[in-house]
């Protein structure tokens, strides 16, 4: 489960930012996770609870914003929603899609005390 190591890294980054602001606690963490990122949001939530124990984020809430995937067809130029990396263009059926969004995983907001 790579979500465990991703969560540990995310907490380290959050703590770095919080310490720079002389915070004593992190009360909330907001992340964006794309549908094609390969990250299971529920696994991140589970890992966050365990990994935050004894850190500045102990007791913090984790909000995950799920980012839909969007592709751009190289053949017809249409943009279409995607559910997997193997999706085809919804307009012409072509499989050559450039991914415009949906692969991201980012720590976007912290609330600190």
pLDDT band at 8 (very low <50, low <70, confident <90, very high): very high
What confidence tens digit (pLDDT) does each residue in 27-54 have? 999 999 999 999 999 999 999 999 999 9
Q: Which domain holds residue 16?
A: 2-112
Domain total of the chain: 1
For position 1, what pLDDT does the model report?
A: 56
CATH number at residue 46: 3.30.2320.80
- DSSP-assigned letters across all residues of 9-76: HHHHHHHHHHHHTT-S-EEEEEEEEETTSS--HHHHHHHHHHHTTTSTTTT-EEEEEEEPEEEEETTT
Q: What is the pLDDT of residue 51?
A: 96
Check: CB of residue 67 under 8 Å from CB of residue 104.
Answer: yes
């Amino acid at each position: 489960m790579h979500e465990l190591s991703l969560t540990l890294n995310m907490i380290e980054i959050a703590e770095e930012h919080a310490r720079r602001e002389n915070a004593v606690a992190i009360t909330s963490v907001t992340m964006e996770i794309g549908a094609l990122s390969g990250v299971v949001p529920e696994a991140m939530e589970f890992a966050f609870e365990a990994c935050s124990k004894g850190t500045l984020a102990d007791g913090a809430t984790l909000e995950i914003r799920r980012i839909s995937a969007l592709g751009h067809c190289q053949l017809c130029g249409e943009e279409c929603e995607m559910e997997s990396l193997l999706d085809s263009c919804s307009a012409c059926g072509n499989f050559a899609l450039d991914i415009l969004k949906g692969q991201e995983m980012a720590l976007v907001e912290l609330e600190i005390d």
